[in-house]
Amino acid sequence: MSNARENLNKLFTKRVIKMGNANSLKHHLENAQKTGVCALPKRGLSEVPADLLKVAASLRTLDLSENKLSSLPSSMQAFPQLKHLNCSQNKLTQLPDTLGALTKLETLLMSYNKITKLPDMLSALKNLKTVNLRYARRHEPQLERLGDINNMVEQVNEFGDVLCDCKKGCLRVLAGGAATLRSLCWRHNQLSELPGCLLSLPQLDVLDLSSNLITSVPASAAALRCSELNLNDNQINRVSAELADCERLKILRLESNCLSLDEFPARLLADSHVSLLALDGNVFEVKQLAELDGYDKYMERYTATKKKMF
């Protein structure tokens, strides 16, 4: 008898919660219709509510972070006014191509999902300024210490070019996006090679691909437009000499990789614009660089840069 009563109470509680969620969603949608902002974080959603399409045409900001979404609907083109989309901390494995229709999108937050490939459709988003794909391969227990991601975003002044570092050191949100991409953080993922789609981004200035599985820096990397390239903590055992042709590259970070001195191109010392090399943690001592041709030229650039800083 007590078990039957307990089960009945649980069933009643579930129905009350479900009704409460439905009423709450209705309230959110009504507000969204007026404000253009719909925030539905931490609601246990396993799919995007179908009713959201009723206000899709007027939404400018959509926050679906910290839910259980495994996919986004293919009907994302129904949100033509959307500027800010936050789907961080879900279970997404890929993004629909229809996101490419959101030509007004400026901010795309997708950290802490399971996305392993940078979607080609990003190149169609000409107004995109902010991209975060950090920790896209797994959820981290330290997330619980981060608090609501919205609080972090609110600290940023109008979604600036480079956003904020979490004080806990667990999450970095960097600006980015398509033709206007200036800085992209794609750390702690499973990249095994330098994504070719990054080579055609004319405004890219800071590129962070640290803590991945990249094994080499190909000749095509010479087409990068960035001034800083962070490849720390990968598995790199070869760097193409053509990287010296990267016209804007001034800072190159290759710490904690598998480089031998024989596979480090002396052209980066003698014939490049690189003025800061970080190479600790490879299979040679950094002081051995002095044995390579062009080391004196590198030190001239390094010293000149240091003088400008102080």
- The reported pLDDT for the residue numbered 251 is 97
Whole-number Å distance between alpha carbons of 308 and 310: 6
Query: In terms of pTM, does the model score above 0.85?
Result: no
Question: What value does the CA radius of gyration of the chain take, rounded to a whole number of Å?
Answer: 23
- The reported pLDDT for the residue numbered 9 is 52
Low-confidence ranges of the chain (pLDDT < 70): 1-23, 116-123, 136-180, 310
Residues sharing a CB contact under 8 Å with residue 36, sequence separation 6 or more, in sequence order: 58, 59, 60, 61, 81
Whole-number Å distance between alpha carbons of 287 and 143: 39
- The reported pLDDT for the residue numbered 13 is 40
**pLDDT tens, position by position, 188-208:** 777 888 888 788 778 888 999
Q: 137-141: long-range contacts at Cβ-Cβ below 8 A with a sequence spacing of 24 or more?
A: 137/188, 137/189, 137/190, 138/114, 139/89, 139/112, 140/112, 140/170
- The reported pLDDT for the residue numbered 56 is 94
Residue 29's SS3 state is helix
Question: What is the fold of 20-138+148-307?
Answer: 3.80.10
Structure tokens at 38: 């719909």
- The reported pLDDT for the residue numbered 26 is 80
Whole-number Å distance between alpha carbons of 268 and 245: 9
- The reported pLDDT for the residue numbered 82 is 96
- The reported pLDDT for the residue numbered 136 is 61
Domain boundaries, the chain: 20-138+148-307
- The reported pLDDT for the residue numbered 22 is 54
Residue 89's SS3 state is coil
| Torsion angle in degrees (nearest 10) through CA of 101, 106, 107, 110 | 30
Whole-number Å distance between alpha carbons of 161 and 174: 7
Residues sharing a CB contact under 8 Å with residue 165, sequence separation 6 or more, in sequence order: 171, 172
Residue 75's SS3 state is coil
Whole-number Å distance between alpha carbons of 83 and 227: 28
**Phi, psi (deg, nearest 5) at residue 270:** -90, -30
